[in-house]
Structure formats: structure tokens, C-alpha cells
Amino acid sequence: MRRAPRNRTAVGCTLLVIALGAGFTGCSSGGNPLSAEPYDAADRISFNGPSEGKKADPDTPLEIVAEDSGGRITDVTTVDAAGHHVGGELAADGSRWHSTSPLAADTDYTVRVSTEDEDGAPGRKVLTFTTGKPTAPRSSGAKSLGVTFGPGKGTYGVGQPLTAELTAPVQDPAQRAVVERGLKVSSTPAVVGSWHWVDDRKLHFRPKGYWPENATIRVRSTLEGVRIGDRLTGGKAEPLTLSTGDQVIAVTDVAAHRLTVYKSGEEIRKIAVTAGKPGFETRNGVKVVLAKERLVRMLSTTIGIAEGSSESYDMPVHFATRVTWSGEYVHAAPWSVGSQGYDNVSHGCVGMSTGDAEWFFDTFHQGDLVEVVNSGGATMEPFGNGFGDWNLTWAQWREGSALVGGTGPGPAPEEKARLRPQPA
């Protein structure tokens, strides 16, 4: 449930009159108030923001009051540095505005106030403030919500999503918005991105397009001490910094029996392959490299093939690059060299010669991208079997955010057709 505004507290919240030295500017242009330059409304409003050099308590709702008995507030817009809006309500007579959605801790905010006087002349004022840690005590018996960020420190491919694992379920939409607003992601270079709720304990973050090459990515929580619900308060969370390497993408055309590798947008290798045969079709779509195993024992029983059937197998496989948790790999398949480049004979994996598989194994790393096209198989699921996050359009991805239009800083990159490079 959305929390109703509470009474003012005495902690950093005394109603302050913002008086910045500018007063009423008279009307001009023939006396038409609508043609006048907006006057500075600083001495016409009061704002319960923090005093100079202080930080606001994020648990205290914002309030702006029209101090001019003949004037009124016409509009208030409050946003954080990432462009997320704070909800609010304006009284019908324009005498008062207050916020209705929680603020995030350790966050910069800008408030734009529009007013008009008794003659209809417009006034404007821009206010800025920064929130600190909440000062209100926790409710008795409140649980602490911890957050663990993934995938961990290191260097990853440009397709690696970030993850946030919560220690308690969060189902209420308003509470999810509080949580999501407190999970801060920044990157250099900057990207547009958004969190997506996978379930009530897990979120994934990805940019609109792939991460930039050789980027530094930082994710942190500002939820510590923040009241999320009546009995749920944000706890401590370790921040995470990771980086990306070069953009490395493989595109497997199942119908053509060819895998093409691109590095930084340039084609660097074509490989003859075999993929899933009828009944065992390889999944279409974009997959993210999960792990690599130089030698793995593959058992047909793990994909539902009964032991002893004509399709059963139990064999050692070399240079296996995993792309799904259910057992789809790109790997060496010396037993099918005669079919590679001509026919699809595997049980769902992408097979190639031992030499090509070793090169692929050495070239691809966790977070790099493997896309399959023109297969008769279903599309890779977004969640639950690895990282199929890129198989959702940007519009679909944002639908999973608790913040409408939740995006990060920076200019929006061009939407990529099917999110793969095109040959030169």
C-alpha cells in the first residue's frame, strides 16, 4: 500500500521559507500577465527542505506551501539525477503540494515549482537538495532487507546482465519502487538501462543495447535504513565494480550450418557447424556465455533421453562453452565432422571440429554473446535457464521495472536490429 504523508517531524524538517533575494517582477507588454517573464517565486512559497549544508531525511515527505494569500501553486515536478519522478498531490486551490512516493537515500533531487499571483502572472522557482540516511527509528520487529549484487568482480563480455538478489520477497508495487529506486547503476561510458523484476527476490539490470566495450560498471545500494514497508527496512549491501572487455559475438545460422564470429563489429572467423536435428532443435535467440569446461561428461539422461534408447549417449566432450544451464553448449564434436557445414545432427548443441572448438573456447568468455538464427527450435527463454535477457525488446524489458520509464543517465543508443552486428 502507498504510505500516506505523515506529520512533520522536528528532525531537519522545519518549514523553511526559501528567500533567495529576488522578488515580484511587474507585468509588462500592455498589462497582459501571460506575456510577462516569470517572476522568481522564492518569497511566495515555503519548502520543508533542509537548511544550507544539510541533507534531507528521505523518510520525510516533501511539502511546498503557497505563502502569498492571493497566489497559488500551479505545478510541481520533482526528479532525481537519473530522471525518476517523485509522485505528489497538489491541493485543488493550489495552496499546498506534498510528495506521495518515498525518496531514495543519498540522492540528488531537483524540484521545479510553478506559481501564479492574483493577477495571473507566472512565477517559477527551482530548488535542489540531497537526501542523507533516514533518521527515524525502525519499527519494532522490522526485518532488514539485504541485497547481493552479481555476477562478481572481474571482466565480462558486453552481454552480461547485472543481478540483485534480495534476502526477503518484495511483492507490493510501491515497495518494489522503493527498492528499485535505491539500487544505483552507473557506467563509464554512460548507458541507458533499467532493472527488471525476475521474481519477488531477484532483479536483473541491462542496458538498452549491449554494454560499451572496455566499460567500468558500478552498482550500489542506498537502501540502508530506508523504510520499505511497515516491517521492512533496507540493510547494508556491498557495492560491486566490474568491467567489460571487447565486444565478442557469435551468430549461428542453423539453416546455413555456419557460425560467424564478430569482434568489435568486425567479422573475424567463419566456422562450419552442426546444430540440433529435428526433435532436438537448438534454441533460437541471444544467449550469454555462462561458463567454460575443457572437459565435460555429457549424458543423454540429463535432457530426458532414456538410457539404452537409440538416441542415448554418455561421452567426454572437450572445449565446451556453456550457454544454458539445461546443457546447451558450443563444443568440439569430432564424431560429426562429416556433417558440419552440411547437416544438423546434434541433440541441441552447436558442434564443430576440435581445432575450431579450441579457438572458440579461448576467444569467448563469460558474458560474451552467442546468437542462434534460423533454427526450428523455440526462442531462448528470458530467465531461468541462463541469461536470455536480450530476447526481450526494450519496451518489454521496461515493463518489468517498478519505475515507469526507469532509465539510467546518458544518451539513448540506437536500437539495434536483433542486437547483432551486420557484416561490412
Q: List active site positions.
A: 331, 349
User: Contact, 265 vs 221, CB < 8 A?
Assistant: no
Could you give the CA distance from residue 27 to residue 211 in angstroms, rounded to a whole number? 52
In angstroms, what CA-CA distances link 118 with 27, 28, 30, 92, 125?
A: 12, 15, 17, 16, 17
In angstroms, what CA-CA distances link 281 with 45, 222, 276, 299, 353?
A: 66, 45, 4, 17, 20
Q: Which of the 8 DSSP states describes residue 188?
A: E
Question: Closest by alpha carbon to 206, among 164, 240, 176?
Answer: 164
Residue 363 backbone phi and psi in degrees, to 5: -90, -35
Q: Is 278 exposed, middle or buried (0-12, 13-18, 19+ CB in 10 A)?
A: exposed
34: left (phi over 0), alpha (psi -120 to 50) or beta: alpha
Residue 360 backbone phi and psi in degrees, to 5: -60, -45
C-alpha grid cell, residue 259: 557460425
Could you give the CA distance from residue 269 to residue 364 in angstroms, rounded to a whole number? 13
Coil, strand or helix at 42: helix
Name the CA radius of gyration of the chain, rounded.
28
Q: Is 12 exposed, middle or buried (0-12, 13-18, 19+ CB in 10 A)?
A: middle
* One-letter amino acid for residue 83 of the chain: G
Buried-state track 84-98, b at ≥16 Cβ within 10 A, e below 16? bebebebeeebeebb
**Cis check: omega of the bond before 189, within 30 degrees of 0:** yes
C-beta contacts of 260-269 below 8 A and 24+ residues apart: 260/423, 261/360, 261/363, 262/420, 262/421, 263/363, 264/213, 265/421, 266/424, 267/423, 267/424, 269/359
Residue for cell digits 522536528? 10
